[in-house]
């Protein structure tokens, strides 16, 4: 199997499974505890059906939308995810370039392996920086100031990761950053010589945005959850979030909001957007799926704040359903990470092209000329 055989999320996932050593594949693929939320994030889209309208001259369909102050060519962007260097030796360079080429926004994580400054030089496309608040308070100011100087367009603060989720697959495979060769994992690395060779021959793994303040997680073998539990600040509260909103002073999203109550507080502290998200099912297992919470949150705050649906998106029809319920756009993680592992920048471009084509085809079949025409009349719950 190779890239040209990939037509869907499942195909890219299969190819990534072939190409990546198993601890790395399972780090992307896994969720918390029994992975119930992970599965529910996608299956929740099946609770409703689309109702098309016909004979509406759909010879020109406009997929573009504006989110966090940025125009994107289609209503799906790359949610921030950690450590792209693990999945492909070009790391975030590959993902950022693919997003730019395909006309959508790139989200870069605090835990990226390419620096804010390098990404800013590399791409003129819309860029969203994802902030984690560390116990080292100077780090927050430092990251915000560097993003301003580098010309990032928007920022989000992840609020669902005050402690690490229980990712049992990582414990079973012994996943660490950087990857550690153990007796157990040796076979898996040996069976993936392409990845292993590229890993050895290219730049060293590092958490490029925070290496100057903490070497933890960069130079020593560490589990991601240990890193989170040691470094992230569980005392973070609404005042800290408000501080970040004010300090940034531009379009700002809270990522990981799941309740109407918190969505209202996000408005009070001056956020311009919320990302309804449970971290792709990697944190609190048993929490509701973002899609299941979407309508209620949109009804309560949709006229005052942009609502972004993050989690479980695998198909163009998922994006259509979210937009019909009132989301401004969707974002995804695993959907582009598998394609990064499967084929670097070309892989990410391929999956984005497939998603863009699906959204366009689905909107045409729905009789919608623009994303504005996707509204509640277009979906019915079973
Ligand atoms: C491998 C991996 C790493 C992630 N790293 C981060 C991160 O550093 N910061 C963050 O806010 N979210 C992170 N996430 C969560 C994503 O931003 C996003 O919320 C999630 O992937 C959406 O669900 P989906 O994978 O079903 O699309 C990560 C997700 C994955 C799969």
Which CATH number do you get for residue 20? 3.20.20.70
205: CA distance to ligand 1 center in Å? 19
Question: 339 CB under 6 A from ligand 1?
Answer: no
Question: 253 CB under 6 A from ligand 1?
Answer: no
DSSP code string of 163-220: S----HHHHHHT--BS----HHHHHHHHT-HHHHHHHHHSPPP--TTTTTT--TTTTS
Residue owning the nearest CA to atom 9 of ligand 1 = 81
Confidence bin at 212 (pLDDT 50/70/90) = confident
What tokens does 350 get?
A: 């391929």
Q: What is the distance between the alpha carbons of residues 173 and 295, in angstroms, rounded to a whole number?
A: 38
Q: What is the structure's pLDDT at 226? A: 84
Tell if the pTM clears 0.85, that is, is over it: yes
- Which of the listed residues 167, 279, 332 should we mutate to test ligand 1's pocket, taking the one with most ligand atoms within 8 A of CB? 279
332: CA distance to ligand 1 center in Å? 8
Question: 337 CB under 6 A from ligand 1?
Answer: yes
Question: 79 CB under 6 A from ligand 1?
Answer: yes
Residue pLDDT, tens place only, 273-292: 999 999 999 999 999 999 99
Say which range, 22-36, 37-51, 56-70, 194-208, has the weakest mean pLDDT. 194-208
Strand partners, 331: 77, 310
366: CA distance to ligand 1 center in Å? 30
DSSP code string of 282-341: TSSTTPPPHHHHHHHHHHHHTTTSEEEEES---SHHHHHHHHHHT-SEEEESHHHHHHHH
Percent of the chain with pLDDT over 70: 97
Strand, helix or coil for residue 131:
strand
Question: 224 CB under 6 A from ligand 1?
Answer: no
- Which atom of ligand 1 lies closest to the CA of 109? 8
Question: 209 CB under 6 A from ligand 1?
Answer: no
25: CA distance to ligand 1 center in Å? 14
Nearest Cα to Cα of residue 130 among 235, 279, 340, 5: 279
Residue owning the nearest CA to atom 21 of ligand 1 = 333
Phi, psi of 313 (to 5 degrees): -70, 120
87: CA distance to ligand 1 center in Å? 14
Torsion of CA 39, 44, 46, 47, to 10 degrees: 140
Q: What is the structure's pLDDT at 177? A: 81
Q: Which domain holds residue 84?
A: 3-381
Indicate which residue of 26, 84, 90, 279 is catalytic: 279
Strands (E), 30-138: 48-50, 65-67, 70-72, 76-81, 106-109, 127-131
Residue owning the nearest CA to atom 29 of ligand 1 = 81
Q: How many CB atoms lie within 10 A of CB 155?
A: 25
Tokens 């892989």 -> residue: 347
Say which range, 49-58, 147-156, 185-194, has the weakest mean pLDDT. 185-194
Q: Beta strands 70-72 and 65-67: pairing type? A: antiparallel
Question: 351 CB under 6 A from ligand 1?
Answer: no
Question: 311 CB under 6 A from ligand 1?
Answer: yes
192 is catalytic: no
State the total domains in the chain: 1
Q: What is the distance between the alpha carbons of residues 232 and 322, in angstroms, rounded to a whole number?
A: 31
Q: What is the structure's pLDDT at 224? A: 81
Confidence bin at 219 (pLDDT 50/70/90) = low
148: CA distance to ligand 1 center in Å? 23
Tokens 């669902």 -> residue: 160
Nearest Cα to Cα of residue 290 among 273, 305, 306, 312: 312
Cβ proximity of 251 and 69 under 8 Å: yes
Question: 333 CB under 6 A from ligand 1?
Answer: yes
């Amino acid at each position: 199997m190779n890239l040209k055989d990939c037509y869907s999320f499942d195909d890219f996932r299969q190819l990534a499974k072939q190409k990546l050593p198993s601890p790395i594949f399972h780090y992307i693929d896994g969720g918390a505890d029994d992975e119930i939320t992970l599965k529910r994030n996608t299956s929740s889209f099946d609770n409703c059906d689309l109702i098309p309208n016909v004979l509406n001259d759909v010879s020109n369909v406009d997929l573009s939308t504006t989110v966090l102050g940025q125009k994107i060519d289609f209503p799906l962007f790359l949610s921030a995810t950690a450590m792209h260097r693990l999945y492909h030796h070009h790391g975030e360079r590959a993902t950022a370039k693919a997003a730019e080429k395909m006309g959508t926004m790139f989200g870069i994580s605090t835990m990226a392996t390419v620096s804010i400054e390098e990404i800013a030089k590399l791409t003129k496309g819309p860029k969203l920086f994802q902030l984690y608040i560390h116990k080292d308070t100077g780090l927050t100011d430092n990251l915000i100031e560097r993003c301003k100087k580098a010309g990032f367009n928007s920022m989000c603060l992840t609020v669902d990761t005050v402690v690490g989720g229980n990712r049992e697959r990582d414990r079973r495979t012994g996943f660490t950053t950087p990857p550690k060769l153990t007796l157990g994992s040796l076979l898996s690395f040996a069976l993936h010589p392409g990845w292993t060779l590229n890993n050895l021959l290219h730049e060293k793994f590092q958490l490029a945005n925070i290496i100057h303040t903490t070497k933890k997680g960069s130079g020593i073998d560490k589990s991601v959850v240990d890193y989170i539990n040691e470094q992230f600040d569980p005392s973070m509260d609404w005042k800290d979030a408000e501080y970040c909103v004010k300090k940034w002073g531009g379009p700002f999203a809270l990522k990981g909001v799941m309740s109407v109550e918190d969505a209202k507080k996000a408005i009070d502290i001056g956020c311009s957007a919320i990302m309804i998200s449970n971290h792709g099912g990697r944190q609190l297992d048993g929490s509701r799926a973002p899609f299941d919470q979407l309508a209620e949150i949109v009804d309560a705050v949709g006229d005052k704040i942009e609502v972004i649906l993050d989690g479980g998106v695998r198909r163009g029809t998922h994006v259509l359903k979210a937009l019909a319920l009132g989301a401004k756009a969707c974002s995804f993680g695993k959907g582009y990470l598998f394609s990064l592992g499967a084929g670097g920048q070309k892989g990410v471009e391929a999956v984005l092209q497939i998603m863009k084509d699906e959204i366009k085809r689905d909107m045409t079949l729905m009789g919608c000329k623009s994303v504005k025409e996707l509204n509640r009349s277009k979906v019915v719950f079973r």
